[in-house]
Structure 1
């Protein structure tokens, strides 16, 4: 039989925790706090060492170096049961400003494409789409955005975007599920960033780092500049 007082205690703890989360979120509305946060973030990034990281993570690091952003990238080695946790616990583990900052990279395939190439970013068979865990990807909006890249010259019947099968994703990126990084992919798949990520405050986001037990974070605008990714309203 459950103890009523124990349930009340748990409810009180949850209420207090939610209040704390709300207060922290309010702090980040201050421009001065955001500037201080970014400065601190970049200082910590310079101290990150990856001597014990697995090869896929080192591959991501090497790509960050090539892009000239390694000194503003932070890498995190998380627990093996990380993906069994609730989003808020994951955010606490990474010291992320909020659950809104937790993002994922998903490979989308145009199953009706007339070719298999990724050479033309304006008409690629595959796209690496970055979205928040709290968000969603509207396949219709994705299709509209990509079709507009070619000024709608290609018929709608030649588009049908779906999440690529796991085997295809691994073959294209070199990364396993929950470890996909848009930086350091095996093939240079065009990247589309959900526009909601661009509006995050502080403007940093957290992604897979090439291995399921490793995460990467960096300032959003530096990522956009370095990768020249597309930005689209996908929700």
Structure 2
């Protein structure tokens, strides 16, 4: 290869790198915004009097936060949202977040569009870590139920907590017939690679130490304060 051709190739590679750099930064910024939005949702849930009961929080080993689940349709509906998943470690601390997506469809009496802030509480961390590269269906692979309400309500002490996953949501907009049964959860490996770098799969992220971003620090603090 002659010198001039080598120079042209080097310049072309440099141009591509320069052009892709803003796109990569913008993509990483989107994931940071998702983390920030998840932290706000969790903080708001923590301030609500009628929120997740302490009796459930004591046995919680995993959580998924979807800041914006869009639910829309007319007779035939669909839902999609992007969020984060975290698991509780053996020492009681919370892991770094793995990015997830939730998608699903439904048929029935429904009309309109709705934006939902969604929190899914898992009794066992293995239910989240077992997703791996595939996905699972809520109501199919895992039992799901609307979570009991009342942070300090004595009525919750008798709640059986038989389901594996409990859902909590706050709606914005109008919709009838919302349901999470049949919705599919899977890891967003593309988002993980953008935020953490290639080679960091869900298992490595859950096991990683240190907070990769200030938003993660805030989320962990919120989870620790939810008692």
Q: TM-score, normalised by structure 1?
A: 0.26
Greater radius of gyration (CA): 2
Q: TM-score, normalised by structure 2?
A: 0.27
Larger helix share, 1 or 2: 1
Larger strand share, 1 or 2: 2
